[in-house]
Amino acid sequence: MKTVELKSLVYRWSDQSDPVLSIDNFNLDAGECVFVKGPSGSGKTTLLSAIAGVIDVPQGSVRVAGSDIGALVGGDRDRFRVDHLGIVFQVFNLLPWLSALENTLLPCRFSARRRDKAGSDPKAAATRLLRELGLEDAGLINRPASALSVGQQQRVAVARALIGAPEVVLADEPTSALDEETKETFVQLLLKECRASGASLLFVSHDGSLERRFDRSIELPMLNKGNS
């Protein structure tokens, strides 16, 4: 069972003639944690946007959890995204005026599927996830997210990506704002939680020191022929 399938994916910004993405074949198996390594400008963000259904891709080129992203239109893509994907950004993952707990619960607001999968009490599920990620203090998780440190914010972002057990977690350089020590702990936690929930993980980074912890590592410039 493949959660992400890319087949003859070609994508170009409308005003450019050269494609930014040109990927013949790429698969992400269920539960697989893959490290995608690439320098900036190698099309990392575009790749993630294609999988997340933020950019228009040709029909049949991107399948996530069995659905053809290119065939979805408008708001369906947004609903599909929250139903099946968890996303962790580089920095500033959280809405600063919501508490850590409320931030974690955001996908459950927009997706009935995630809410159902989070169990009868999504709040308890979120609290449990946050505790596993090292945010145990009840006072801390109810405080506005802006009061948290960067490392804590990234861990809340992981909790948000994982709540309601989506099939795929996309992580876009989530460690770039963390120091060496936190970085290691963070990646370990992320992998552990993804494995615990059975989600596939696509981890994009330019930092090769982290790749050994993953099931598989690929070089984006090798995969993406479009960006030369």
Told to check if 83 binds other proteins by CB under 8 A, we report yes
Q: Strand 85-88's sheet: what is its strand order?
A: 85-88, 168-172, 200-205, 33-37, 216-219
The Cα angle at residue 199 between residues 99 and 113, in degrees rounded to 5: 65
Stretch that binds other proteins, among 63-71, 108-116, 181-189, 206-214 (CB under 8 A): 108-116
Q: What is the dihedral of CA 87, 184, 153, 81, to 10 degrees?
A: 10
What the block records as the tokens of 172 is 């876009």
Q: Which of 19, 38, 43, 107 binds other proteins (CB under 8 A)?
A: 107
CB of 199 to other proteins, least distance (A): 15
Q: Is 81 in the site for other proteins (CB under 8 A)?
A: yes
What's the angle, vertex CA 85, arms to CA 84 and CA 89, rounded to 5? 170
Q: Least distance from C-beta 181 to other proteins, angstroms?
A: 25
Min separation Cβ 5 and other proteins, Å: 20
CB of 99 to other proteins, least distance (A): 10
* Under rule CB under 8 A, residue 70 binds other proteins: no
Strand partners, 202: 34, 170
Q: How far apart are CA 216 and CA 85, in angstroms?
A: 20
Q: Is 165 in the site for other proteins (CB under 8 A)?
A: no
Is 125 near other proteins (CB under 8 A)? no
Q: Is 177 in the site for other proteins (CB under 8 A)?
A: no
Which residues on neighbouring strands pair with residue 201, listed in sequence order?
A: 33, 169
The CA R_g of the chain, rounded to the nearest whole Å, is 17
Show contacts with other proteins in window 25-54 (CB under 8 A).
45, 48-49, 52, 54
Q: Per CB under 8 A, does 97 bind other proteins? A: yes
Looking up tokens 């995630």 gives: 114
Residues that bind other proteins (CB under 8 A): 45, 48-49, 52, 54-55, 74-75, 78-79, 81-83, 87, 89, 92-98, 106-107, 109-111, 160
